[in-house]
């Protein structure tokens, strides 16, 4: 058959969703063909990234340079373990999400489905671009493409509320990236003379400790997608988007692109050792800790299920940043593991939320009493996802926290240890009551919720499970959450490769 | 005394500047569109003087080649200004034509009346 | 063939000039259009040939008029900088001409169409003349040729306000040109020469007592040219002129006229005064910096509050021009490269944007923001071009605008102006707001009645738009023809500093 070089695979991973984005509008008259295009593209992307995996594990590092708009600033790709992990997560979940999207979009009779699938495919292409970016410029380019392609998804409903959320989304993400990230990249380029990602960093000895800390701040806050407080507002706002968008993009692709970029920049631009020697990054530990705790506290007070999930995401993202800020190889492994674990767990939770909305038209947690018996699959998956968030075995979330704690205790950093402990308790406090309500609370009549009479009957109507594509998708991700606990080899191997060289 | 000699030696410049500034003042201060154009013309005329006056060389004759004379005025500024005059006339003509059209469209050539008729453009 | 190649610099000007005469005698608009089309493409061909020749050899091309040697005769002199600008002007001209026929037929009465093309060709002549000539007074003549024809082009707009806009521009433009000619006069009094290169060499040897008129000349030249290029706060004429001119005229002016003025400023600063002088004798750099930054912020804000999209883009032009003047003020290689390449990038992007609006006007008959509701779904390709070029204005990576911003930011940092780097990127956020407003209205509002049956314009209008839209993306990734040439030009100009 074809002999595809590793470089070809990298290009394919970007090209397939891009081509899908072109093909999808051609079939806007026949939805079945249109969805088939999405599914085939998703399957091909998954196939591509998975066939890239053994190569990367065996030490091959495909890289290429496509163009060089400014001398020293090239459009280049280079696969390294962390990017591989991110691409695997996003690429595999796209299939599941596509299945889910079909069920959700049709089940809810959403308008403008063609542009929805187009933007989604572009967003995936951009995510692949971020994962495989070989330098800061390429990363920045696809980072912006991701923002722009998800903007129409956030504003999909075109209601005044959605438009407002879209403005917040766009201004915050573009704003931080233009005003903070871009200058940081320019400064890095001027100082280091290169923008390439290199093991051990490129800034060693190029800048003083204070400057290093300042530059790191520009990067960390400039990457608004990482949702470090105070630049997290876009994430809850973006929850007005249809649930598949929240699930894949705002729980996986977009936010993970943020923390992935932060991790990648800390590891490959600054270098863990360089930062550790400078010793001026304590503020990042504090900022991330604060975000973890505050976001958890806010999540505790949200009644809207998606909002609670959003704040939980904000908090979980800062785990990754916190782990990176601990600046030990072990904690960096923890960060990488957490990227994968949180992805499958959080997408499960969002899938469940969308499932509830599709089947029962419920969005508030206080409406969920007893729903577990009506929607057993959905709520079981939700419970597994919740365990994953808390980090309890037997779910994937356990390993991330384990490595982070190990890294922190090894170097005697007790603040992160305390924060991780405290937030685990908080996670349990805002997730377990939902599960409890769903299974053990009596279904209350709707009037006690203060809803209007016609909603009343709607809330009372006898609903069962959501459409089968939705149930299938969320069962798959729930299974993955469990599977990652029993077979964490792939992410673990990649994470170890990342810190090892 | 020296101030006076300086003035007298450079009097052509002072005339130039006087014309220039008064022309510019008219353009800015007047609301009547024709008066503005007159000011503009005055302003341009001052430049003609700026160029032409230094072309005169004391003791020089008209720049027509003849064995009897060795010192000529510099003819180049005159040539240049001839072009500038043409440009100036063209500008004035176009400006006046526009004013005629504006008068047809608005029924007035006073700027403040036009602005109040149309809102600030 | 040799002879032909030798005469390229003069042909660059003569071709459109004779075409203008020819077009004036045409009775029908279509014939005049054909003449203009051929002339524009011929001009592009000449510019390309010139560029190939110039960039192949280290020496500039010098062409002397009628055999009169320099500095007595008029010299046409093409070096890396103006070869680049010639390319820009002729590319814009060549691309918009196919578009022009339908748009002009719609917007201009049939008996005036031939005049429109005549004026366009004269304007092209003037702009190319300013760029190609090496003679200071010749620049003035061409400047007036282009200005006078521009006034007519603007006055051809359908709205009576076009007359006012034209009149305003006539007043301001004439003052600007006269300031320029005063500056040239002072330089002539000191040096006795009108040849730009010759003035430059003589200025170097000018004794101390002549410093004052030299500096005064610099001030006059700077202010005069800045009026022409609409540097904030001398920009008041521009929004009205762009808003009320016929669509094609707006595209052409926005893409070329101000860029040529920027070119002239660069020429005066770097070639005539020699890079160091303008920045040491007068606080030119500081003034330009402050004005540019003010323009970036204030003009962009004005754009945000504008409800007429053409005026909105006009204000955006004022802001974008300041990127170029900023590059001039930075006076280092990266900064100047950014300024020069932004002439090309902005020319392409803004032309694409105005072409898209012209197409909207062609179909809908209005470009007010409220009338654009839902148009993104009715005219998908047109608005796609608008979005892409709009992203370019914002400076999203992967578009041409990013390249300019990158060079400027690097230039600012190299110069040690750290906060400036942040201002440059922050100003692009305001562009997000005004472009975003249009996109929100065009894509997320329900189409109004007069938009309901609209569709994309005919192919002759669509293709130029798509070309420029694609160029916005192409020039964001492959830059050997934009930033590469610009960097060459910047190096050449800064040779004086070393």
Tokens (6 digits) for A460: 């009372």
Q: What's the confidence (pLDDT) of residue C34?
A: 94
User: Could you tell me if A370 lies within 8 Å of chain C, comparing CB atoms?
Assistant: no
pLDDT in tens, C358-410: 999 998 888 888 888 888 888 889 999 999 999 999 989 889 999 999 999 99
CA distance C389 to C376: 14
CA angle C150, C153, C155 (to 5 degrees): 110
CA distance A380 to A482: 12
pTM: 0.90
% of chain A exceeding 90 in pLDDT: 5
**B70 CB burial (10 A radius; 0-12, 13-18, 19+):** exposed
User: Could you tell me if B121 lies within 8 Å of chain C, comparing CB atoms?
Assistant: yes
Backbone angles phi, psi at A66, to 5 degrees: -90, -40
pLDDT in tens, A382-400: 888 888 888 887 888 888 8
CA distance A46 to A95: 8
Q: What is the DSSP letter of A68?
A: E
CA distance A266 to C312: 41
Contact B105 C163 (CB under 8 A): yes
User: Could you tell me if B7 lies within 8 Å of chain C, comparing CB atoms?
Assistant: no
Q: What is the DSSP letter of C308?
A: B
Tell me the pLDDT band of A445, cut-offs 50, 70 and 90: low
The region of weakest confidence among A104-118, A143-157, C136-150 is A104-118
Nearest to B94 among C170, C181, C185 (CB): C170
Backbone angles phi, psi at B31, to 5 degrees: -100, -15
Residue B39 makes CB contacts below 8 A (sequence gap 6+) with B22, B23, B24, B25, B26, B27, B30
Question: Nearest residue on chain C to B16, judged by CA atoms?
Answer: C182
CA distance A181 to A175: 9
Contact C478 A69 (CB under 8 A): yes
Residue C72 makes CB contacts below 8 A (sequence gap 6+) with none
For chain A, the domains span 281-501
Residue C56 has a CB neighbour count (10 Å cut-off) of 7
Q: What's the confidence (pLDDT) of residue A1?
A: 46
Q: Which helix (H) or strand (E) holds A64?
A: strand A63-70
Residue where the block lists tokens 């403008």: A112
Contact C410 A67 (CB under 8 A): no
Q: Is the bond preceding residue C71 a cis peptide, omega within 30 degrees?
A: yes
User: Is the pLDDT reported for residue A297 higher than 80?
Assistant: yes
Contact C170 B47 (CB under 8 A): no
Residue A488 has a CB neighbour count (10 Å cut-off) of 18
Tell me the pLDDT band of A415, cut-offs 50, 70 and 90: confident
For chain B, the domains span 2-118
Q: Is A199 left (phi over 0), alpha (psi -120 to 50) or beta?
A: beta
User: Could you tell me if C308 lies within 8 Å of chain B, comparing CB atoms?
Assistant: no
Of C476, C497, C340, C331, the residue nearest C414 (C-alpha)? C331
Interface probe for C, chosen from B6, B100, B121 (most Cβ of C below 10 Å), is B121
Residue where the block lists tokens 């400023």: C265
Residue A449 makes CB contacts below 8 A (sequence gap 6+) with A364, A366, A367, A459
pLDDT average, residue stretch A28-49: 86
User: Could you tell me if A22 lies within 8 Å of chain C, comparing CB atoms?
Assistant: no
Nearest to C396 among A75, A144, A183 (CB): A144
**Which residues, in sequence order, are bridge partners of residue C195?**
C135
Backbone angles phi, psi at A276, to 5 degrees: -65, -40
Question: Which chain B residues have a beta carbon less than 8 Å from that of C171?
Answer: 27, 36, 40, 95
Tokens (6 digits) for A179: 């005003």
Q: Which helix (H) or strand (E) holds C49?
A: helix C29-56
pLDDT in tens, A446-486: 444 444 444 444 444 567 777 787 888 888 888 888 888 88
Residue C368 has a CB neighbour count (10 Å cut-off) of 12
Interface contacts (A, C; CB < 8 Å): 74
Task: Considering only the C-alpha atoms of chain C, give the largest distance between any 2 of them, rounded to a whole number of Å.
Answer: 72
Nearest to C425 among A67, A144, A179 (CB): A179
Residue B96 has a CB neighbour count (10 Å cut-off) of 13
Contact A70 C413 (CB under 8 A): no
User: Could you tell me if C109 lies within 8 Å of chain A, comparing CB atoms?
Assistant: no
How many angstroms separate the CA of residue C435 from the nearest CA in chain A? 12
- How many C-alpha atoms does A37 have within 13 Å on its Cβ side? 22
Q: Is the bond preceding residue A230 a cis peptide, omega within 30 degrees?
A: yes
Nearest to C151 among B33, B94, B121 (CB): B94
Q: Give me the DSSP letters along A93-159.
A: HHHHHHHHHHHHHHHTT-S-HHHHHHHHHHHHHHHHHHHHB-BHHHHHHHHHHHHHHHHHHHTTT--
Q: What's the confidence (pLDDT) of residue C321?
A: 93
Question: Nearest residue on chain A to C401, judged by CA atoms?
Answer: A69
| Residue A364, SS3 per DSSP | strand
CA distance B86 to B92: 10
Residue A311 makes CB contacts below 8 A (sequence gap 6+) with A236, A295, A296, A298, A299, A302
Contact C429 A175 (CB under 8 A): yes
What is the pLDDT of chain A when averaged over all its residues?
84
User: Is the pLDDT reported for residue A501 higher than 60?
Assistant: no
pLDDT average, residue stretch A38-59: 87
Name the packing angle between helices C418-444 and A160-176 (round to 10°).
160
Q: What's the confidence (pLDDT) of residue A444?
A: 60
Contact C178 B43 (CB under 8 A): yes
The answer to whether residues C456 and C379 touch, using CB atoms and an 8 Å cutoff, is: yes
Question: Nearest residue on chain C to B87, judged by CA atoms?
Answer: C144
Question: Nearest residue on chain B to C240, judged by CA atoms?
Answer: B121
CA distance C11 to C43: 8
CA angle C444, C450, C455 (to 5 degrees): 75
% of chain C exceeding 90 in pLDDT: 57
Touching chains C and A? (3+ Cβ pairs < 8 A): yes
User: Could you tell me if B15 lies within 8 Å of chain C, comparing CB atoms?
Assistant: no
The answer to whether residues C407 and C483 touch, using CB atoms and an 8 Å cutoff, is: yes
| Residue B110, SS3 per DSSP | strand
Contact B90 C164 (CB under 8 A): no
Q: What's the confidence (pLDDT) of residue C33?
A: 93
Question: Nearest residue on chain C to B110, judged by CA atoms?
Answer: C164
What b/e sequence results for A399-419 when a residue is b if at least 16 CB atoms lie within 10 Å of its CB, and e otherwise? bbbbbbbbbbeeeebeebbeb
Contact B47 C185 (CB under 8 A): yes
Contact C436 A170 (CB under 8 A): yes
Question: Which chain B residues have a beta carbon less than 8 Å from that of C178?
Answer: 43-44, 47
Q: What's the confidence (pLDDT) of residue C253?
A: 93
Tokens (6 digits) for C376: 């993104």
- Please give the class, per CATH, of domain B2-118: mainly alpha
Q: Distance between alpha carbon C320 and the CA centroid of its chain, in Å?
A: 11
Q: What's the confidence (pLDDT) of residue A243?
A: 83
Q: Give me the DSSP letters along A252-283.
A: IIHHHHHHHHHHHIIIIII-HHHHHHH---HH
pLDDT average, residue stretch C276-293: 81
What is the pLDDT of chain C when averaged over all its residues?
89
% of chain C exceeding 70 in pLDDT: 97
The region of weakest confidence among A299-303, C10-14, C132-136 is A299-303
Question: Which chain A residues have a beta carbon less than 8 Å from that of C391?
Answer: 148
Residue B75 makes CB contacts below 8 A (sequence gap 6+) with B55, B63
Question: Which chain C residues have a beta carbon less than 8 Å from that of A137?
Answer: 397
User: Could you tell me if A160 lies within 8 Å of chain C, comparing CB atoms?
Assistant: no
For chain C, the domains span 1-280, 283-498
Tokens (6 digits) for A354: 């969308």
Nearest to C141 among B33, B83, B114 (CB): B83
**Which residues, in sequence order, are bridge partners of residue A64?**
A77
pLDDT average, residue stretch B71-97: 91
Question: Which chain A residues have a beta carbon less than 8 Å from that of C443?
Answer: 152
pLDDT in tens, A213-226: 888 889 989 998 88
């Amino acid at each position: 058959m074809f002999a595809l070089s590793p470089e070809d695979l990298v290009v394919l991973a970007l090209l397939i969703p891009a081509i899908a984005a072109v093909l999808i509008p051609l079939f806007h008259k026949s939805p079945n063909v249109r969805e088939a295009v999405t599914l085939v593209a998703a399957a091909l992307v998954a196939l591509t990234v998975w066939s890239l995996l053994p190569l990367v594990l065996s030490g091959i590092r495909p890289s290429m340079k496509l163009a060089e708009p400014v001398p020293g600033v090239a459009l280049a790709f280079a696969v390294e373990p962390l990017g591989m992990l991110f691409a695997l997560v996003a690429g595999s979940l796209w299939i599941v999400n596509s299945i889910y999207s079909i069920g959700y979009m049709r089940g809810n009779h959403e308008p403008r489905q063609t542009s929805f699938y187009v933007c989604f495919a572009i967003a995936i292409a951009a995510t692949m671009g971020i994962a495989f970016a070989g330098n800061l410029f390429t990363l920045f380019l696809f980072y912006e493409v991701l923002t722009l392609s998800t903007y129409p998804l956030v504003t999909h409903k075109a209601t005044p509320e959605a438009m407002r959320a879209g403005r917040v989304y766009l201004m915050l993400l573009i704003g931080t990236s233009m005003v903070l990230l871009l200058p940081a990249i320019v400064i890095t380029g001027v100082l280091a003379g290169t923008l390439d990602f290199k093991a051990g960093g490129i800034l060693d000895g190029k800048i003083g400790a204070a400057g290093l800390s300042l530059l790191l701040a520009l990067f960390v806050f400039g990457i608004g997608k990482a949702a470090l407080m105070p630049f997290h507002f876009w994430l809850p706002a973006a929850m007005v988007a249809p649930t598949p968008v929240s699930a894949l993009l705002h729980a996986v692709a977009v936010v993970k692109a943020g923390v992935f970029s932060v991790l990648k920049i800390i590891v490959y631009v600054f270098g863990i050792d360089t930062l550790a020697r400078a010793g001026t990054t304590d503020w990042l530990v504090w900022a991330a800790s604060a975000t973890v705790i505050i976001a958890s506290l806010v999540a505790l007070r949200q009644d809207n299920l998606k909002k609670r999930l959003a704040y939980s995401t904000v908090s979980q993202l800062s785990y990754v940043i916190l782990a990176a800020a601990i600046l030990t190889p072990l904690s960096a492994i923890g960060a990488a593991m957490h990227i994968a674990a949180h992805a499958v767990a959080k997408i499960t939770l969002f899938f469940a939320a969308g499932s509830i909305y599709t089947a029962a038209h419920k969005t508030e947690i206080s409406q969920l009493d007893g729903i577990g018996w009506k929607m057993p699959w959905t709520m079981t998956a939700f419970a597994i996802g919740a365990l994953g968030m808390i980090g309890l075995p037997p779910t994937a979330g356990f390993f991330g926290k384990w490595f982070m704690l190990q890294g922190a205790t090894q170097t005697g950093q007790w603040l992160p240890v305390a924060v991780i402990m405290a937030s685990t308790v908080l996670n349990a406090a805002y997730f377990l009551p939902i599960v409890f309500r769903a299974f053990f609370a009596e279904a209350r009549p709707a009037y006690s919720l203060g809803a209007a009479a016609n909603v009343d009957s709607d809330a009372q109507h006898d609903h069962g499970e959501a459409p089968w594509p939705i149930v299938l998708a969320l069962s798959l991700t729930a299974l993955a959450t469990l599977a990652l606990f029993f077979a964490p080899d792939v992410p673990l191997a990649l994470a170890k490769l990342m810190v090892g060289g | 005394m020296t101030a006076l000699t300086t003035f007298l030696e450079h009097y052509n410049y002072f005339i130039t500047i006087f014309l220039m500034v008064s022309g510019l003042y008219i353009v800015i201060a007047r609301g009547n569109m024709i008066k503005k154009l007159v000011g503009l013309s005055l302003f341009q005329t001052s430049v003609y003087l700026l160029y032409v006056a230094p072309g005169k060389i004391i003791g020089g004759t008209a720049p027509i080649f003849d064995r009897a004379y060795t010192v000529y005025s510099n003819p180049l500024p005159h040539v240049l200004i001839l072009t500038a005059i043409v440009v100036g006339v063209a500008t004035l003509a176009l400006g006046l034509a526009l004013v005629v059209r504006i008068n047809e469209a608005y029924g007035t050539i006073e700027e403040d009346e036009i602005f109040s008729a149309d809102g600030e453009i | 063939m040799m002879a032909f190649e030798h005469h390229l610099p003069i042909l660059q000007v003569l071709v459109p000039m004779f075409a203008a005469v020819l077009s004036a005698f045409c009775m029908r608009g279509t014939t005049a259009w054909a003449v203009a089309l051929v002339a524009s493409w011929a001009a592009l061909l000449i510019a390309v040939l010139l560029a190939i020749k110039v960039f192949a050899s280290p020496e500039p091309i010098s062409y002397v008029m009628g055999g009169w040697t320099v500095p007595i005769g008029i010299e046409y002199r093409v070096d890396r900088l103006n070869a680049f600008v010639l390319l820009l002007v002729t590319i814009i001209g060549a691309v918009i001409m196919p578009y022009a026929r339908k748009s002009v037929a719609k917007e201009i009465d049939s008996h005036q169409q031939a005049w429109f093309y005549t004026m366009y060709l004269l304007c092209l002549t003037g702009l190319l003349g300013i760029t190609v000539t090496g003679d200071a007074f010749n620049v003035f003549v061409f400047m007036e040729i282009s200005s006078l024809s521009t006034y007519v082009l603007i006055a051809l707009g359908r709205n009576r306000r076009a007359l006012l806009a034209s009149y305003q521009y006539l007043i301001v433009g004439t003052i600007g040109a006269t300031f320029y000619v005063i500056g040239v006069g002072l330089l002539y009094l000191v040096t006795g020469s009108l040849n730009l290169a010759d003035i430059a060499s003589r200025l170097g040897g000018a004794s101390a007592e002549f410093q004052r008129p030299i500096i005064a000349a610099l001030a006059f030249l700077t202010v005069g040219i800045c009026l022409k290029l609409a540097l904030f706060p001398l920009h008041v004429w521009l929004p009205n002129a762009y808003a009320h001119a016929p669509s094609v005229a707006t595209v052409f002016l926005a893409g070329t006229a101000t860029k040529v003025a920027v070119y002239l400023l660069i020429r005066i600063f770097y070639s005539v005064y020699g890079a160091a002088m303008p920045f040491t004798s007068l606080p030119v750099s500081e003034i330009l910096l402050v004005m540019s930054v003010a323009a970036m912020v204030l003009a962009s804000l004005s754009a945000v509050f504008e409800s007429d999209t053409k005026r909105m883009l006009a204000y955006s032009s004022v802001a974008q021009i300041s990127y170029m003047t900023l590059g001039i003020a930075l006076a280092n290689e990266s900064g100047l490269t950014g300024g020069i390449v932004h002439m090309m990038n902005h020319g392409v992007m803004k032309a694409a944007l105005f072409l898209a609006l012209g197409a909207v006007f062609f179909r809908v008959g209005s470009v007010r923001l409220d009338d654009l509701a839902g148009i993104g779904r009715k005219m998908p390709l047109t608005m796609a071009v608008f979005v892409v070029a709009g992203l370019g204005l914002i400076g999203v990576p992967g578009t041409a605008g990013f390249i300019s911003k990158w060079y400027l930011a690097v230039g600012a940092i190299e110069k040690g102006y750290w906060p400036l780097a942040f201002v440059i990127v922050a100003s692009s956020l305001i562009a997000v707001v005004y472009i975003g407003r249009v996109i929100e209205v065009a894509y997320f509002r329900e189409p109004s009645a007069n938009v309901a049956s609209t569709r994309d314009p005919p192919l002759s209008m669509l293709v130029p738009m798509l070309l420029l839209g694609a160029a916005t993306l192409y020039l964001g990734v492959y830059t050997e023809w934009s930033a590469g040439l610009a960097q060459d030009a910047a190096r050449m100009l800064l040779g004086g500093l070393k």
